[in-house]
Amino acid sequence: MWRFAGLELSAARAAIDAAFEAGITLFDTADIYGFGEQGFGKAEELLGRVFADAPEYRDRMVLATKGGITPPTPYNSSAEYLTKAIDDSLQRLGTDRIDLWQIHRPDILTHPQEIARAVEAAHSAGKIRAFGVSNFTQAQISTLAQFSAVPIVSTQPELSPLRIDTIENGELDQAIAMDMAVLAWSPLGGGRIGDPSNEREQNVAGALSGVAASHGVSRTAAAYSWIMAHPARPIPIVGSQNPARIAEAADAFKITWTRADWYSVLVAARGVPLP
């Protein structure tokens, strides 16, 4: 929901309705979304207006949000700030609980024990039901997990057929080992899957298009499906606010990947043959 801020209420509801109709129930936002054009917290505020207009929407979704980015600082995960960030998100969203609360970016200057105590307090108070991280390294996740009585249930890395570091550097293997859900942000490579601009991007798009055509779906749906085929079962975050594009995401389930097809996309992304 990072582009959610600034929509009219009717357009906001239409986007959410399209997601529900496609079977999407996880909605991921953040307190920083809207910053720059609409303002800090504006995406959460708009979702809060949707809940006020249609209270039944709240119970139909798994509501995820994030905190910890503090322009221009840039990051703050002190216990004092995290406590305030969670309370502020609850107020903007107009809800009494957040299903999944995540630290948006790691704050190097905060000891993980301090983070853990703040999260535990919010969890005990019923303000958050589960805890995750976003853009954390494997070492940062492992270290924080040692101090936290509340398990880290999710990680949110950048992952797409054009951003395969997460696949090759062990991040997804760690997610499997720790039973963390993987929320893949920018699964379309910042739009480059749809509009490739160099040879590597064109090769990846071509490999995806071949599979997409054989299953009667779009290249976008093939990109989502390629991510979802990994054993870590990553969940692509669909960034579009266009109801038709949101509905298109469900086509990802129409593809059954052969190993040859899946690896052909990986090879195109690597730019060199596999060993």
The token duo for 201 is 């991007």
d(CA 186, CA 77): 24
Looking at residue 69, the DSSP 8-state letter turns out to be B
Q: Residue 27's Cα: distance from chain center in Å?
A: 9
Q: Transcribe 103-135 into DSSP letters.
A: ESS--TTS-HHHHHHHHHHHHHTTSBS-EEEES
> Does the annotation mark 57 as catalytic?
no
Whether residue 16 contacts residue 24, with contact meaning beta carbons closer than 8 Å, is answered with: no
Give dist(CA 256, CA 185) in Å, integer. 22
Question: Which residue out of 33, 57, 81, 224 is catalytically annotated?
Answer: 33
- Give the integer Cα–Cα distance in Å for 269 and 162: 6
Instruction: List Cα–Cα distances, 104 to 46, 63, 74, 96, 131, in angstroms.
Output: 20, 15, 11, 21, 11
Give Cβ neighbours of residue 242 (< 8 Å, ≥ 6 apart): 15
Q: Which residues are catalytic?
A: 33
